Amino acid sequence: MGPREQILELLKGRSDDFVSGEELSEQLDVSRTMVWKHVTSLRDCGYIIESITGKGYRLKGLPDLLLPSEIKRDLKTEFIGQQIHYFDELDSTSVKAREIAADSPDGTVVIAEKQVGGRGRMGKAWYSPHGGIYLSIILKPEIPPDHAHRLTLVSGVAVAEVLKELGVAAEIKWPNDILINEKKVCGTLTEIDAEMDVVNYVAVGIGIDANIELETLPPIAMLQATSLLEEMGGVVDRVAITQRFLERFERYYATFMDAGFSQILRHWREYSSTIGRRVKIVTKFRTIVGEAVGIDHDGALIVELDDGSVEKEITGTCFHL
């Protein structure tokens, strides 16, 4: 921990009290001028620090930012998010993840407060204003490349569980949209870099509409999307949600690697609102309509068409009819 973080820790521990510049400088063994510089840099990050001559400094407010120092504090993971690259604005965390993946350790996370080129599934854009949670996790699993899409479902189960703990009845629409009252609040984009039979890395990108005013979304998104702000009737703690997600993701990722995908599917089915529904599935090649009757061992949706025949799709856009 550097002196800046140590100052923050000391102020946090005594937030109803002033801590004198002298005490900070003694405890950290740095000059009073350096204490002032670190306080200024914390203020630049959004921390509200009051200073009164003769009394010292007092922490009055935390920034509503997904700062690595905040996320790593009390983060209960072994490797996911132990390294975080943070940006106020990015084109897309998925693009940044791809750029840095080769030199990054397993579990590295890329976070942006805002994306100007956010990417969704099936070539769609992902609208990413301030207030959302946009992150990509770089993973280096020893799995066959054609199993990588399964990580999308790992992520979906982790998000659904976090939202359930927040008291929100979240459901998963196949393959991986997280819905609240049939409106989308989160999506996952999984991208892979692989040789014939070796995965170099997988980047799992998730976007959660957290503190987003629905009126600020483009009209088409406004009809289909919702946000935690809207559903919970108030601002949510994005740092806590990010921490809980990274923890759940690590746990389900371990389940996936050690116990197998069938265990993930078991949880996925519990949260899914697609099975038993009449659906339309649109892929690049065809559109099918019928009843979603199950999900197979690989995560493919099993659809019984109106003529009684049974079809499977491993990817596509699903509409609940």
118 binds ligand BTN (CB under 6 A): yes
For residue 223, give every residue at least 6 positions away whose Cβ sits within 8 Å of its Cβ, in sequence order, or none: none
Q: Tokens in use for 22?
A: 């002298």
- Among positions 56, 81, 131, 207, the unique one binding ligand BTN when judged by CB under 6 A: 207
**Which one of the spans 47-55, 116-124, 164-172, 220-228 is the region binding ligand BTN (CB under 6 A)?**
116-124
- Among positions 7, 24, 137, 206, the unique one binding ligand BTN when judged by CB under 6 A: 206
**Which one of the spans 77-85, 120-128, 252-260, 280-288 is the region binding ligand BTN (CB under 6 A)?**
120-128
Q: How many CA atoms lie within 13 A of 264 on its CB side?
A: 33
80, 249 Cβ separation under 8 angstroms: yes
- How many residues touch ligand BTN (CB under 6 A)? 20
In the region spanning residues 121 to 150, those forming contacts with ligand BTN, defined by CB under 6 A, are 121, 124, 126, 134-136
- Judged by beta carbon, residue 12 or residue 124, the one nearer ligand BTN is 124
- Judged by beta carbon, residue 122 or residue 310, the one nearer ligand BTN is 122
**Which one of the spans 57-65, 74-82, 161-169, 203-211 is the region binding ligand BTN (CB under 6 A)?**
203-211
**Which one of the spans 10-18, 90-98, 152-160, 302-310 is the region binding ligand BTN (CB under 6 A)?**
90-98
**Shortest gap between Cβ of 317 and ligand BTN (angstroms)?**
9
87, 74 Cβ separation under 8 angstroms: no
Give the C-alpha distances (Å, rounded to integers) separating 122 from 55, 126, 272: 58, 11, 21
**Shortest gap between Cβ of 108 and ligand BTN (angstroms)?**
14
246 binds ligand BTN (CB under 6 A): no
Mapped onto helix, strand or coil, the DSSP state of residue 184 is strand
Segment (H or E) for 33: helix 32-44
86, 53 Cβ separation under 8 angstroms: no
139, 204 Cβ separation under 8 angstroms: yes
**What is the dihedral sign for C-alpha 67, 69, 73, 77?**
positive
- Judged by beta carbon, residue 56 or residue 187, the one nearer ligand BTN is 187
- Judged by beta carbon, residue 8 or residue 97, the one nearer ligand BTN is 97
- Judged by beta carbon, residue 21 or residue 207, the one nearer ligand BTN is 207
- Judged by beta carbon, residue 59 or residue 177, the one nearer ligand BTN is 177
Could you please report the per-residue DSSP string of 116-178?
SS-B-GGG-B--B-TTSEEEEEEE---S-GGGTTHHHHHHHHHHHHHHHHTT--EEEETTTEE
205 binds ligand BTN (CB under 6 A): yes
Q: What share of the chain is helix, strand, coil (3-state, %, to 5)?
A: 35, 30, 35
248 binds ligand BTN (CB under 6 A): no
DSSP 214: G
- Judged by beta carbon, residue 126 or residue 252, the one nearer ligand BTN is 126
Binding site for ligand BTN (CB under 6 A): 92-94, 115, 118-121, 124, 126, 134-136, 177, 187-189, 205-207
